Structure 1
Amino acid sequence: MKSIYKTLINIIIVSATLTACTDVIDVDVPTAAARLVVEASIDWEKGTDGSQQTILLSTTTPYFAENKNEPVTGATVKITDNTNNETFTFTDNNDGSYTTNGFIPQLEATYSLEVIHNNEVYTATETMTKGVDIASVYQSKEGGFDDEHLEVNISFQDPEDETNYYLIRYIEEGDLFPELEVDNDEFSNGNLKKDFFEKEDDEDINRKPFIPGDKVYISLYGISERYHNYMAILIEQSEVAGDPFSAIPAALKGNVINTTNPKNQALGYFRLTQVSKAVYTFN
């Protein structure tokens, strides 16, 4: 009886101790001032006139904020063709998107972006980079990391006697985020290049291998060297998330410059690319 009584006393003491450890502790998390985020991807799809273009503006939010996207409205957005001084003004749709139906793309032409927000002027300059056609799209189980999983393969011809940089985007129908890759022709100039996309089984993120009937949207962009380097770092930072031995990700500086207040730089990039697209359904 004494043993049972002593055991009950110990349980009460332990329970009281654990309960005392459940006090809520408020921690002040430092937050930085909101910064402008510019998503200015001017993509000229092959087979279209490239006249319809959209630029997205938002501001950064605190990490624990419920709303992860704060659209920017009331800004002034325009792009100028520096060759003939033609200006294309983008319409504010009051949801963070700014659009135009009159853009005129020209390969190898240089364009300047200007965004005016909160009385500060942001600018960027980039060249419209030509792309190549996707020569073929097919499925196999031979080119990936697991010979039991389906993968989609593409091939494209790299032009001779010039340096080329590429961005390849894959996204399965229904997925929220795409798979991005960058490539160049440093060791394959003038050759037929190949690439593949395979999904490995990962229960932690609910990722499953491809099965017949799955549909994948593929985009092959011709990009500038500077944008290639920017995306290479961005992809590397996204892939090491959760790795305790990786370098700490840092804010990646794009090509958008705040000419009014250099200390308040924007995030994002102004790119102009020509893109070839394809859709593949596994069988």
Structure 2
Amino acid sequence: MKKIIYILLVTLSFISCTDVIDVDVPIAEPRLVIEASIDWEKNTIGNEQLVKLSLSTPYFDENNMPMVTGADVRVTNENTNDVFIFDDQNDGTYTTSTFIPILNNTYRLEVIQNGETYIAHETMTSVSDIDDIYQSTENGFDEDALEVNVQYTDVANIENFYLFKFQKEGDLLPDLIDMADEFTDGNQITMFYERLEDEDINQVEFAPGDVVDIHFYGISKQYHRFMQLLIAQTDSGGPFGATPVALRGNCTNPNNPDNYAFGYFRCSEVVIDSYTFQ
């Protein structure tokens, strides 16, 4: 009996020592965020493009990111010297309807904002065609769960990098999967995407009638590495998760290197499709 009372007292003493600790989180100065994805949908003109500018906010700030207006935004084809001016829409977006995408050409993004100039370079990267899209229960982690399968044929003897974006209609955010052809050069590849039941995030498996939007991008080696790190940090968790680090994009500030911008300038050919489960 004495042992039971002793254990109870020790337990109560631990409970009574629980305190709420307020931690001061360092707040950095706002930094320019550049969202510049020049996506050329396969078999279209690709003339309409958009760049989005905003300012970073503290991690626990519940307000929306402040949009940046009044900037000068242009993209230059460094192979042809064609310059494309992006017009300020006064809501943080800058658009053009005159862009000319050319595969394997190098483009330079230039953003002038608040007296600072930000520069980034990227090459317009091609993507393979999608050979087939179908459903099954064979390739995923749960043999009873529906999955969507996307087949494509990698171009042989060329170092290729790809990005898949899958998003079920109604979901707020997509799932991203990066791919490289280091071990699959020239082969037909099948990429599968399934949703496992997860009560913690209110996620259920795919069911007949569900629609999945699919974006298949060709991306540069540099952007592939960036996305690998981003996806690893996004999916990290538990004791063996990746340690979060500041992730630098390719938007530099030549005159003031420490004042670089967040975000990335990407030039990709993309195949867009969707699949409805039967």
The Cα shift of 1:71 comes to: 1.1
Q: 1:149 — aligned with what?
A: 145
Q: Rg larger in 1 or in 2?
A: 1
Q: 2:110 — aligned with what?
A: 114
1:99 matched to 2:98? The reply is no
Which of 216, 223, 226 matches 1:220? 216
Closer, same or farther in 2 for the Cα pair 1:196/1:46, shift >3 Å?
same
Aligned residues of 1:227 and 1:271 also touching (Cα < 8 A): yes
SS of the aligned residue for 1:232 comes to: helix
Q: State the identity as a percent.
A: 52
Q: How many residues of Structure 1 are paired with residues of Structure 2 in the alignment?
A: 265
Aligned residues of 2:165 and 2:215 also touching (Cα < 8 A): yes
In the alignment, the residues of structure 1 paired with residue 192 and residue 274 of structure 2 have an alpha-carbon distance, to the nearest angstrom, of 14
Where do 1:8-23 residues align within 5 Å?
none
1:262 matched to 2:257? The reply is yes
Where do 1:206-217 residues align within 5 Å?
206-217=202-213
Gaps of 5+ in 2: 1-11
Where do 1:228-267 residues align within 5 Å?
228-240=224-236, 242-267=237-262
SS of the aligned residue for 2:216 comes to: strand
Q: 1:10 — aligned with what?
A: none
Where do 1:57-136 residues align within 5 Å?
57-136=53-132
TM-score (norm 2): 0.91
1:174 matched to 2:170? The reply is yes
SS of the aligned residue for 2:229 comes to: helix
Aligned residues of 1:120 and 1:259 also touching (Cα < 8 A): no
- Letter of the structure 2 residue corresponding to residue 262 of structure 1: P
In the alignment, the residues of structure 1 paired with residue 24 and residue 186 of structure 2 have an alpha-carbon distance, to the nearest angstrom, of 56
Closer, same or farther in 2 for the Cα pair 1:275/1:210, shift >3 Å?
same
The Cα shift of 1:251 comes to: 1.2
Q: 1:276 — aligned with what?
A: 271
Kindly report the root-mean-square deviation, in angstroms, between the aligned alpha carbons of the 2 structures.
1.9
The Cα shift of 1:265 comes to: 1.1
1:197 matched to 2:182? The reply is no
Gaps of 5+ in 1: 1-13
1:48-99 CA distances to partner (integer Å, 9 max, x unpaired)?
Answer: 1000101111111012212142211111100001112110000111111111
The Cα shift of 1:148 comes to: 0.9
1:239-261 CA distances to partner (integer Å, 9 max, x unpaired)?
Answer: 00x42343431111111101221
1:75-132 CA distances to partner (integer Å, 9 max, x unpaired)?
Answer: 1100001112110000111111111111000000011000011100000011100111
Aligned residues of 1:134 and 1:278 also touching (Cα < 8 A): no
In the alignment, the residues of structure 2 paired with residue 146 and residue 246 of structure 1 have an alpha-carbon distance, to the nearest angstrom, of 23
